[in-house]
Amino acid sequence: MPYPTRSSASSIWELNQISQAILGNDWPSVSVPLEYLVIAGGGAGGSGSSGNGGGGGAGGYRTNYTSAGPVPTPKQSGGGASLESALTITTGTAYTVTVGAGGAGSASNQTAGNGSNSVFSTITSTGGGGGSSETSGTGATGGSGGGGGGPAGPGGPGTTSQGFAGGSDPGGGGGGGAGEAGGTDGPGEGGDGVWSDITGSGTQRTGGGGGRGAASLGYAGGAGGGGDGAGDPPGVAGDGTQLTGSGGGGSRAGLVGGAGGSGVVVLRVPDYVAAQFSGGVAARAYSVSGYNIYEVQQTTTTGETVTFYPNAFLAEYLVVAGGGAGRPILNYAGGGGGAGGVLTSDNTVAIPVTVGQTYPVIVGGGGALASSGSDSQFASVVASGGGVGGIASGTSAGGNGGSGGGGGQFGAFGAVGGFGNTPFRNPSQGNNGGSSVGGSGTRSVGAGGGGAGAIGGDSGASTSGGNGGNGITSSISGSPVTYGGGGGGGADTNPGVAGTGGTGGGGDGAGFSNNATNGTDGLGGGGGGNGGTISGPGQRNGGTGGSGVVIIKIPDTRTATFSGGVTNTLSTAVAGYKIYSVTATSSTNETVTFS
């Protein structure tokens, strides 16, 4: 049925005309109230030269959302300021959104990195100040100030209405928090952060990093994610917690201060409105009655945007990235590939989408030999490719990724597994790879790659490869399927036994008498590690990683239409729903549109 346009509309519209106008993107823009929490990246901890490093300051904290009590600091913004003013946004208008990274830790006599700013529209929160690395030096200015260097260097100032100053101490001063100054709770301790329940549950964020103590003690980081200062032993400063904008802990000479935690941007709008993000945004949704809430966890550039549209409905999802591969023939055994990251609405909530708008859809391929897997994406849900299996020399650690690759080994030389859940996601997308145990002689066995549901297995003492970590099970397709198994570690020299792949498509490692197997396509499994004999014709390649998958489940009153480079199937096995399984995309520019 024809419908009026914005220029020709007059009198009263019929409901079916309004519906058609919305589908035709010709419904007039409206103003919508929006509540926000914008937290910048935390500053890194300093590393003292002859003194002790100060803790990093928390990132700036700005909000106009009224949290419920009882919490220690209800109903306030950062730096003890009152809540900011109410904000309205206009549907159909693009707004800038940026999540600031945490500052990088520094070695002795180098300035600890400030955190980066976070932005929504015209609201900018300032990155936390780095802790001082200089003897009696001043902490850096930031959203909250960095702690002073020991002995007794002054803390850096915070930014008005965002955070507090860093502290001073005979050791390293504590970094300022958004809720109090460094050193408030005790000498050298980081300042506490601020509570908010904007996502539906109370969470404390933006704690300052603890300083390095004068008597080889590590001072505590501030509540809300601040990293602890380094003590002896172990002498390692704690990092600020990711997605809280907290400061890193201060360290001592010769060691690196803790990194600042990344910031976060949380946006809360009425539930008849949905957000559409540009392609470089990773976000999750929360469900609170009457609201759609978005937690923006990562932006790849400072030019990313979010646009809000009416006529929202919920789409359930499973996004599985490509698994990492094992290694080709080497003179020692390699670790198994890490599984591709797995993100699903099964353990969070469905994501709101809007009719008539296009959303990215990408299926990541499995890694070729010696390569990590590729990312998968639906809308703002981005799962990371699994890490490549490690080797036992050079860059020996397993690769980082959705799940980390297992470490390789040669005789006495072992290697650690790669980090999983990299980049950081909440809920987690995967686990670390296992580590290999250095032994004696020439036998070698690799560790297992991490899985979506479990850490990869460590290798035995030169006798058995580590098993791949198990995946997780989802019934989004209508029946239970396990995704994201890590690859098993390889083994060489009789009687070395290779590790088995984790449930969910992980490939088995290569052994003295068996070839490695590939990760399973469509499950994001990691490939098995290389192995066989130390030399000669018995050497065996590792396995390649398995491709990922994207599954989208929507009410059967809605329809998904994909761009031309998308391979997908439709199932109606679950009453009341259409379930689209996307198994391949020909480019990273493919899309889906809902009607």
Write the burial class of residue 82 (CB in 10 Å: 0-12 exposed, 13-18 middle, 19+ buried).
exposed
- Report pLDDT digits (tens) over 450-476: 999 999 999 876 678 999 999 999 999
- Which has the minimum average pLDDT: 43-57, 376-390, 558-572? 43-57
**Domains of the chain, residue spans:** 32-310, 311-595
- Report pLDDT digits (tens) over 408-449: 887 677 789 999 999 999 999 999 999 987 665 556 889 999
Residue 595 has, within 13 A of its CA and on its CB side, a CA count of 9
Sign of CA dihedral 51, 52, 58, 59: positive
- Strand, helix or coil for residue 467: coil
Question: pLDDT value at position 235?
Answer: 82
- Cα–Cα distance for residue pair 301/281, rounded to 1 Å: 9
In the predicted model, what is the mean pLDDT of residues 193-219? Answer: 92
Q: Do 96 and 241 meet the contact criterion of CB atoms below 8 Å apart?
A: no
Exposure string of 152-187, with b = 16+ CB inside 10 Å and e = fewer, is ebbbbbbbebbbbbbbbbbbbbbbbbbbbbbbbbeb
Residue by residue, DSSP assigns 278-320 as -TTEEEEEEEETTEEEEEEEEESSTT-EEEEEESEEEEEEEEE
Token pair of 311 as six digits: 């006529």
Secondary structure letter of residue 78 according to DSSP: G
- Report pLDDT digits (tens) over 18-37: 555 655 556 667 899 999 99
Q: Band of the pLDDT at 106, cuts 50, 70, 90?
A: confident
- Report pLDDT digits (tens) over 496-554: 789 999 999 999 999 888 899 999 999 999 999 998 766 666 788 999 999 999 999 99
- Cα–Cα distance for residue pair 262/182, rounded to 1 Å: 19
Question: pLDDT value at position 442?
Answer: 56
- Report pLDDT digits (tens) over 276-323: 999 999 999 998 899 999 999 999 999 999 999 988 999 999 999 999
In the predicted model, what is the mean pLDDT of residues 223-235? Answer: 90
Q: Report phi then psi at 109, rounded to 5.
A: 65, 10
Which H or E element spans position 383?
A: strand 381-383
Q: Do 544 and 563 meet the contact criterion of CB atoms below 8 Å apart?
A: no
- Cα–Cα distance for residue pair 452/552, rounded to 1 Å: 19
Residue by residue, DSSP assigns 143-188 as SSPPPPPTTTPPPPP--TTT-------SSPPPPP-SSS-TTSSSTT
- Report pLDDT digits (tens) over 475-501: 999 999 999 999 999 988 777 789 999
CB-based contacts of 439: which residues, under 8 Å, 6+ apart? 409, 411, 412, 414, 461, 462
Question: pLDDT value at position 443?
Answer: 67
Q: Are strands 549-555 and 312-320 parallel, antiparallel or unpaired?
A: antiparallel
pTM (two decimals): 0.91
- Strand, helix or coil for residue 51: coil
Q: Band of the pLDDT at 1, cuts 50, 70, 90?
A: very low
Strand order in the sheet with 560-562: 381-383, 376-378, 358-362, 591-594, 560-562
CB-based contacts of 450: which residues, under 8 Å, 6+ apart? 338, 339, 386, 387, 403, 404, 405, 406, 417, 418, 420, 430, 431, 432, 433, 434, 456, 468, 469, 486, 526
Question: pLDDT value at position 392?
Answer: 61
Question: pLDDT value at position 464?
Answer: 84
Secondary structure letter of residue 345 according to DSSP: G
Sign of CA dihedral 398, 232, 104, 264: positive
In the predicted model, what is the mean pLDDT of residues 366-391? Answer: 97
Question: pLDDT value at position 311?
Answer: 83
- Cα–Cα distance for residue pair 188/173, rounded to 1 Å: 4
Question: pLDDT value at position 5?
Answer: 52
pLDDT above 70 coverage of the chain, percent: 90
Q: Do 175 and 163 meet the contact criterion of CB atoms below 8 Å apart?
A: no
Question: pLDDT value at position 410?
Answer: 73
- Cα–Cα distance for residue pair 256/230, rounded to 1 Å: 10
Q: What angle do CA 51, 57, 63 make, to 5 degrees?
A: 175
